Amino acid sequence: MLNLNISNDDLQYLAALHTIDGIGSVRLIKLFEYFGSGKKVWEATDKELKGLGMPDKVISAVKQAKMKVVPEKYYNTLLHSKIQILTLCDKEYPDNLKQIHSPPFLLYYKGHFPTYSDSIGIVGTRKITSYGKTVTEMLTTELVAAGFLIVSGLARGVDTVAHKSCIHANGKTIAVLGGGLNNIYPSENYKLSEEIAALYGCVLSEFPPHYPNLAGNFPARNRIISGLSDAVLVTEAAEDSGSLITARFAAEQGKDVFAVPGPITSQLAKGPLSLIKDGAKLVTSVDDILSELGIESRLKDESLDQLISELDHNSKMIVELLGGEMHHIDEITRALKLSISEVSAILLKLEIKGLVKNQGSGMYST
């Protein structure tokens, strides 16, 4: 583990240096180790930097930054914006993130790092379907009830549903960005990011606050999502989805990977199905996750009557209609005078709650 003594004064200079293109975590650590303080790195001559193998382009960028940036002022601007910085040497730095290959030297965040014993990354497609939304909402809610911290990427689709479901369940979540904290992407999730930081956890990034959301940033972001998580769950994704990169990072880090099967006719079921073929654990209920992780169910021990009493009208009608018998979804649809998509969504929710069983070929029973 990195063993450096970083003062608040050092942090100001390190943050200023980190804004310079070409000075990432690895180079920043090497510079700090060589010079012994952030200030000495900032004041290093072109000749000294050249002697350390620094490219001319980066040396030129350092020189320009020194003319534009005052480290103390820059750092105070971050604090004024409620942006805090953790270094890899800080005891508050997440232990599980320290274990990944090349962990970020600096982590920028808004909010508070939640305390937790179990965490799970929930990721998937940006083009979420009603099926994916239902599955993500249900599993996230039940994982929160089981005491899990939810980690995701604040992207459209599955990520957004996971964060919002966690908040709705009064859980804790970490949103990991693919750009700087002053460039929330997508912009429509700015309010969500502020809500997370205010009450439900933190929003964080390894990139400096004004860094843009470049396509190449997201694989790096994905390794942090998996790094912060004890396991990763993919609820809905295409075969070329970035969420599969997160799953691969998790597998490489020795974490469990879980995937939810979907309709074989759906392009967004192909990602999870591909993961399952490669050894990911198939998930049809939260208990599949808990048992695989060696965790006894911590969900509320609710009686069947209590569960049914909390259902909405249409859900109760389906449970009553089945009444211990087996019915085809077409029969249920005709009886309730609802669309097939509405009935499918209700049946999925009831199945996840353990109130209905999918017997295959469109047949359901209680």
Q: How far is CA 319 from CA 83, 308, 332, 363, in A?
A: 50, 8, 10, 14
Whether the pLDDT of residue 302 is over 60: the answer is no
**Rounded Cα gap, residues 227 and 217, in angstroms:** 16
149-153, 257-261, 299-303: range with lowest mean pLDDT = 299-303
Query: Encoding tokens for residue 360?
Result: 């295959």
Instruction: Give 1's pLDDT tier (boundaries 50, 70, 90).
Output: very low
Query: Encoding tokens for residue 217?
Result: 């940033």
Whether the pLDDT of residue 230 is over 90: the answer is yes
In this prediction, residues 296-321 reach a mean pLDDT of 72
Query: 254: helix, coil or strand?
Result: coil
Which range is most confident: 217-221, 255-259, 260-264, 265-269? 255-259
pLDDT in tens, 63-74: 999 999 999 999
Query: Encoding tokens for residue 27?
Result: 């180079």
pLDDT in tens, 355-364: 888 878 888 8
Query: Encoding tokens for residue 136?
Result: 């993500």
pLDDT in tens, 143-167: 998 999 999 999 999 999 999 999 9
**Rounded Cα gap, residues 262 and 337, in angstroms:** 25
Q: Which of 101, 105, 120 is nearest to 247 (CA)?
A: 120
Instruction: Give 298's pLDDT tier (boundaries 50, 70, 90).
Output: low
In the chain, pLDDT over 70 holds for what percent of residues?
A: 96
Other C-beta atoms within 10 Å of 148: how many? 30
99-113, 215-229, 289-303, 344-358: range with lowest mean pLDDT = 289-303
Q: Who wins on pLDDT, 274 or 294? A: 274
The mean of the pLDDT values for the chain is: 91
pTM, full prediction: 0.81
DSSP 280-316: PEE-SSHHHHHHHTT----S----HHHHHHTS-HHHH
Whether the pLDDT of residue 50 is over 90: the answer is yes
- What's the start-to-end Cα distance of the chain, in Å? 54
- Helix (H) or strand (E) holding 257, with range, is strand 256-259
**Rounded Cα gap, residues 41 and 31, in angstroms:** 6
Structural domains of the chain, ranges and CATH numbers in brackets: 1-80 (1.10.150), 111-292 (3.40.50.450), 304-365 (1.10.10.10)
CA atoms within 13 Å, Cβ hemisphere of 352: 23
Instruction: Give CA torsion, residues 88, 94, 97, 98, to 10 deg.
Output: 40
In this prediction, residues 120-130 reach a mean pLDDT of 96
Query: 233: helix, coil or strand?
Result: strand
